[in-house]
């Protein structure tokens, strides 16, 4: 039995593995507080569910759709992007996929030849690195000199003549950092100058809190927008992780290459889910604002509790997404563990609190806590972590 060589360096997803592990422990009767996976705990808004049910009952969801998605959904997505950013795409530039995850996978497969590089600012979401590897590319991690935001000096230090793309994820998973318009403009111009494609993963764009504002790559200079592939989807904004609908909005040539891949790899994402997504983008946006307000309240409660834990460093309050990403080496050393990974395992086994080690996001001194769960769970989790850390005294 042989496994492909390109898998030798590829790890399974740490976020999904941790979430799976806590689900198993919970099913076995353990008292688990799952702050590992990043998915809203809210149910999908009812009008969205009703649209899917109606599509199933009418029979329209029984059939294949175009591989890149229903034309009316692609038009609705193009209209949604235009309303939010002013940038105009034709519907043949929108590729609807099985989650934003597969939009990224199809994109890397479409643009990378063996040995091409992709700049990946760290910390960064677990799947970018592994997807680039699976597509035959070389991940080029970029660490900011200071904090979580890379500058063009940081990019210059890592880019090579084989660099083909840079992934910018703002608001960022795992730190909740949001890039300003000025910072994005500098990076955007740098990418245009170097003929490096911008992959702008804006899946958390609706989740920005406390008066902070979000800027899309598409709102900047038209040259920057024309050099960008937008990645987004319904998972986070509309509490629809299980429905698996994401999309890429791309220059025509790239959209066509992705369409070819998708026509062989998956065909269309589930038709019923596409009708649900159509309702998400064209119906009332009030549920998005209500969920955003609930996340903001959780952040404002949870952040001070976690920041106060001895040995947890979290100076910058996150502006968006739904994660905290403290450096925890102070606490890990005080408790006598040899790494953050063993600390996270012990925390789960002894207190039932599930987190994700920072190593999976390129920063092994940190842990990620998701606050996309109810307030009681967050307050109880903060208490258990605090008691666990204080048990060293
Ligand atoms: N990008 C980022 C930054 C994410 O955190 C996630 C995780 N949900 C995705 C993309 C993929 O989301 P989905 O496949 O659920 O659309
Ligand atoms: N993106 C979410 C996370 O970071 C969902 C799990 C995944 O697909 O990685 O937890």
DSSP secondary structure of 160-200:
-TTEEEEEEESSPTTT-----HHHHHHHHHHHHHTT-EEEE
Q: What is the mean pLDDT of residues 251-273?
A: 98
Residues 240, 243: Cα–Cα separation, whole Å: 5
* Residue 20: other Cβ atoms inside 10 A: 14
**pLDDT exceeds 80 at position 392:** no
State the sign of the Cα–Cα–Cα–Cα dihedral 128, 131, 133, 138: negative
Average per-residue pLDDT for the chain: 97
Instruction: Quick: pLDDT tens for 89-140.
Output: 999 999 999 999 999 999 999 999 999 999 999 999 999 999 999 999 999 9
pLDDT score, position 393:
56
Closest CA to 52 of 44, 42, 61: 61
Q: Is there a contact between 36 and 355 (Cβ–Cβ < 8 Å)?
A: yes
Nearest to 166, CA basis, from 151, 148, 145: 151
Q: For residue 19, which ligand has an atom nearest its CA?
A: 2
User: pLDDT over 70 for what percent of the chain?
Assistant: 99
Question: Residue-wise over 173-184: b if at least 16 C-beta within 10 A, else e?
Answer: bbbbbbbeeebb
CB of 201 closer than 6 A to ligand 1? yes
Query: Radius of gyration of the chain from Cα atoms?
Result: 21
CATH fold, domain 5-43+287-390, is 3.90.1150
Q: Is the minimum distance from the CB of 169 to ligand 1 under 6 angstroms?
A: yes
- The reply to whether ligand 1 has any atom less than 6 angstroms from the CB of 273 is no
Percent of the chain with pLDDT over 90: 94
Ligand 2 atom at minimal distance to the Cα of residue 126: 9
Range list for CATH 3.40.640.10 in the chain: 46-282
pLDDT by residue (tens digit) across 316-351? 999 999 999 999 999 999 999 999 999 999 999 999
Q: How close is the Cα of 37 to the center of ligand 2, in Å?
A: 6
pLDDT level of residue 14 (50, 70, 90 thresholds) = confident
The correct answer on CATH 3.40.50.1000 for the domain covering 46-282 is no
For CA atoms 157, 163, 168, 173, the dihedral sign is: negative
What length is written for the chain?
A: 393
What pLDDT, on the 0 to 100 scale, is given for residue 146?
84
Cα–Cα distance, 62 to 44 (Å, whole number): 22
pLDDT of residue 17: 87
| Closest ligand (CA of 38) | 2
Question: 173-199: per-residue pLDDT in tens?
Answer: 999 999 999 999 999 999 999 999 999
Positions of CATH 3.90.1150.10 in the chain: 5-43+287-390
3-state secondary structure of 208: strand
Mean pLDDT of 235-243: 98
pTM: 0.97
Distances (CA, A) of 175 to 10, 90, 101: 23, 33, 19
With a cut of 80, say whether residue 41 has pLDDT above it. Answer: yes
Residue 20 Cβ < 6 Å to ligand 2: no
Q: What is the pLDDT of residues 277-306, one digit of tens each?
A: 999 999 999 999 999 999 999 999 999 999
Nearest to 230 by CA among 257, 263, 254, 264: 254
């Amino acid at each position: 039995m042989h496994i492909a060589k390109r898998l030798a360096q590829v790890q399974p997803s740490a976020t999904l593995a941790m979430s799976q592990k806590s689900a198993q422990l919970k099913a076995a009767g353990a008292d688990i507080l799952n702050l590992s996976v990043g998915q809203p705990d809210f149910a999908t808004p009812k009008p969205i569910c009703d649209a899917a049910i109606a599509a199933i009952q009418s029979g329209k969801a029984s059939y294949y759709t175009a591989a890149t998605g229903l034309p009316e959904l692609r038009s609705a997505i193009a209209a949604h992007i235009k309303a939010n950013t002013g940038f105009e795409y034709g519907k043949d530039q929108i590729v609807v996929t099985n989650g934003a995850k597969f939009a990224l996978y199809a994109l890397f497969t479409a643009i990378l030849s063996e040995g091409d590089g992709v700049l990946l600012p760290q910390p960064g979401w677990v799947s970018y690195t592994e997807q680039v590897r699976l597509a035959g590319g070389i991940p080029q991690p970029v660490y900011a000199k200071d904090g979580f935001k890379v500058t063009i000096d940081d990019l210059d230090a890592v880019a090579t003549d084989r660099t083909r793309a840079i992934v910018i994820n703002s608001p960022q998973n795992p730190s909740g950092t949001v890039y300003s318009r000025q910072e994005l403009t500098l990076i955007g111009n740098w990418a245009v100058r170097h003929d490096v494609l911008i992959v702008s993963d804006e899946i958390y764009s609706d989740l920005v809190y406390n008066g902070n504002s979000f800027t899309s790559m598409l709102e900047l200079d038209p040259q920057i927008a024309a050099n960008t592939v937008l990645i987004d989807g319904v998972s986070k904004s509309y509490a629809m992780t299980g429905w698996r609908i994401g999309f890429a909005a791309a220059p025509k040539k790239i959209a066509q290459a992705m369409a070819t891949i998708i026509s062989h790899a998956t065909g269309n994402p589930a038709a019923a889910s596409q009708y649900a997504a159509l309702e998400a983008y064209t119906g009332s946006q009030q549920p998005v604002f209500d969920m955003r307000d609930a996340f903001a309240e959780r952040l404002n409660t949870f952040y001070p509790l976690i920041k106060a834990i001895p040995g947890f460093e979290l100076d910058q309050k996150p502006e968006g997404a739904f994660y905290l990403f403290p450096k925890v080496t102070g606490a890990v050393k005080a408790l006598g563990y040899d790494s953050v990974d063993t600390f996270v395992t012990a925390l789960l086994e002894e207190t039932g609190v599930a987190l994700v080690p920072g190593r999976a996001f390129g920063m092994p001194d940190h842990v990620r806590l998701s606050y996309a769960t109810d307030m009681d769970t967050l307050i109880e989790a903060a208490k258990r972590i605090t008691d666990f850390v204080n048990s060293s005294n």
